[in-house]
A = this chain, B = another copy of it.
Amino acid sequence: MAVAAYLKEIMNSPDSSAIRRMFEEGAALKRAYGDEAVFDFSLGNPDVPPPQRVLDTIRRIGGENPCGVHGYMANAGLPAAREAAAKKVSREQQTAVPAGCAVMTAGAASALNCVCKAILSSGDEVIVPAPFFSEYRHYVHNFGGVLVPVMGKREDGFSLNIDGIAAVLNEKTAAVLINSPNNPTGRIYTAAEIQALAQVLEAHGKKTGRFAYLICDEPYRAIVYGGNTVPAVFPLYKNSIVVSSFAKDISLAGERIGYIAVSPDCEDAAELAAACVFALRTLGFVNANAFFQRVIAECWDCAVDAGQYERRGRLLMGVLDRVGIDYVRPQGAFYLFCAAPPRGENDAGDSRAFTEHLKKHLILCAPGDGFGCPGWFRMSYCVSERAIVQCEAALCEAVRSWRAGDMGES
């Protein structure tokens, strides 16, 4: 009678749950000081409401209760939902994707776990460009896999480091996992970068006989700025898999609805899709919840107004410019990835200590260590424009006292 020892160790590691811990601490600070007094940039929890058509559909479906709609179904999902996901991915990937290649999941986190279970044997490696969404560690470890981070090119906004990826490819490499637009940088990997990556993967596959899957985690695809678009990956590399959700694109994060779409050009597309369905079932997801599958069947082509996030991003960049904090200019998503300011001339920036310091000023941000990028921290701008404007004075004072080495209570 005890929690598994290995799990306790992971649970207590500082990077394992920095963002979620911040979420809980933020809630406690808000109870103590009031909601208005705490500036919470820690969690990417979409606060732009879902599009009106989504809300109307939820209302209508809630009022309808024909026989059997709340029951079990084929594990892969309702036919109408799979067709909708396939239509969406067909459009985005410029490839005709049949419904049989789409599997409805409980969000992208569910989708990634199912893909990892489907493809990983113990000791297999998954390469991920850093910085990366910190939960990837767990999704890969769950199935005996090893996450192999490859730092992106800082000088180019953390673009893909193709040479770095090529250098770590080996016969244990099961997949490369990219996230575009990227959490935490907001970077969209270009078609040229994907093309270069695909060439490296093709060459490696031909040499070793094991082709790595390219897994593209795209939950922020619709949240892009300044005329940017997320390039199609299926035409560039045949062994590709898209995982995504409706969490951010239409603000249904808590409803847990997403999908896996296997490229029809993938050499073992049918078997891979079947393995993902098996994983979905046996990991206990069973099927994505029926209600939101029905919503998505009708609303797969909706998206929130990305302009709201863009305005907030611009406001926050203005604040950081004035305060003197360096950051990566985002092309999508709703995060600013920022360099922790040095405390003295020879300091590289300690993001963990800096975010702890910010907390004393009631400003919550996620340290970069969890994203595989010490020295950086992430600010989510899923917050009101008012909060962004109002945080400036506190942030300015926090940075001043940090640089001055004053670590006392604010």
**Chain A residues in contact with chain B, CB under 8 A?**
1-8, 10-11, 17, 20, 23-24, 27, 43, 45-47, 49-50, 55, 58-63, 65, 67-75, 106-107, 109-114, 117-121, 124, 135, 138-139, 142-143, 205, 210-213, 239, 251-257, 266-268, 271-272, 274-275, 278-279, 281-292
In the complex, how many angstroms separate the beta carbon of A257 from the nearest chain B beta carbon?
Answer: 8
Q: Are A113 and B62 in contact, CB atoms less than 8 angstroms apart? A: no
Residue of B whose beta carbon sits closest to that of A52: B65
22 contacts between A and B (CB under 8 A): A2-B119, A3-B271, A4-B119, A7-B118, A7-B278, A23-B74, A45-B72, A49-B65, A58-B62, A61-B62, A70-B253, A71-B251, A71-B254, A73-B254, A106-B285, A109-B285, A135-B281, A139-B282, A255-B289, A256-B288, A285-B285, A291-B291
Indicate if the CB atoms of B2 and A251 lie closer than 8 Å.
no
Say yes or no: A289 contacts B121, CB within 8 Å. Answer: no
A255 and B63 contact, CB distance less than 8 A: no
* B59 in contact with A47 (CB, 8 Å): no
Residues in B neighbouring A271, C-beta threshold 8 A: 3, 8
Q: Report B-chain residues with C-beta under 8 Å of the C-beta of A285.
A: 106, 109-110, 256, 284-285
A47-B71 in contact (CB<8A): yes
B278–A17 contact, CB under 8 A? yes
Contacts of A3 in B (CB 8 A): 118-119, 268, 271-272, 275
Task: Return the contact of A291 from the options B23, B255, B283 (Cβ within 8 A).
Answer: B255
Tell me if A70 and B118 are in contact (CB < 8 A).
no
Chain B's closest residue to A272 (CB) is B3
Assess whether A1 is in contact with B211, with CB atoms less than 8 Å apart.
Answer: yes
Q: How far is the CA of A287 from the CA of B120 in the complex (A)?
A: 24
The chain B residue with its CB closest to the CB of A109 is B284
Besides A47-B67, A113-B284, A256-B288, 9 other A-B contacts (C-beta < 8 A): A4-B275, A7-B117, A17-B278, A24-B74, A47-B71, A73-B254, A112-B284, A257-B289, A285-B285
A47 to B68, alpha carbons, bound, how many Å? 6
A75 touches B20 (CB 8 A): yes
Q: Which of B106, B120, B275 contacts A284 (CB 8 A)?
A: B106
The residues of B that contact A73 with a CB separation of less than 8 Å are 254
Given contacts A11-B274, A135-B282, contact A256 B287 (CB under 8 A): yes
Shortest beta-carbon distance from A42 to chain B in Å = 11
Ranked nearest first, the 9 interchain pairs of A and B with the lowest CB-CB distance are A62-B62, A254-B290, A109-B284, A138-B282, A1-B211, A113-B284, A110-B284, A3-B275, A45-B72
- The reply to whether B62 and A63 contact each other, CB–CB distance below 8 Å, is yes
Contact A50 B70 (CB under 8 A): yes
Q: In the assembly, what is the distance between CA of A46 and CA of B205, in Å?
A: 48
Q: Across the interface, which residues of B come within 8 angstroms of A55, CB to CB?
A: 65
Q: CB distance B290 to A291 under 8 Å?
A: no
User: A205 CB to closest chain B CB, in angstroms?
Assistant: 7
Chain B positions within 8 Å of A20 at CB level:
75, 281
Within 8 Å CB of A288, what residues of B?
256
B71 touches A46 (CB 8 A): yes
A141, closest chain B residue (CB): B282
A106 and B256 in contact, given A283-B283, A284-B113, A284-B139 (Cβ under 8 angstroms): yes
A251: min CB distance to chain B, Å:
6
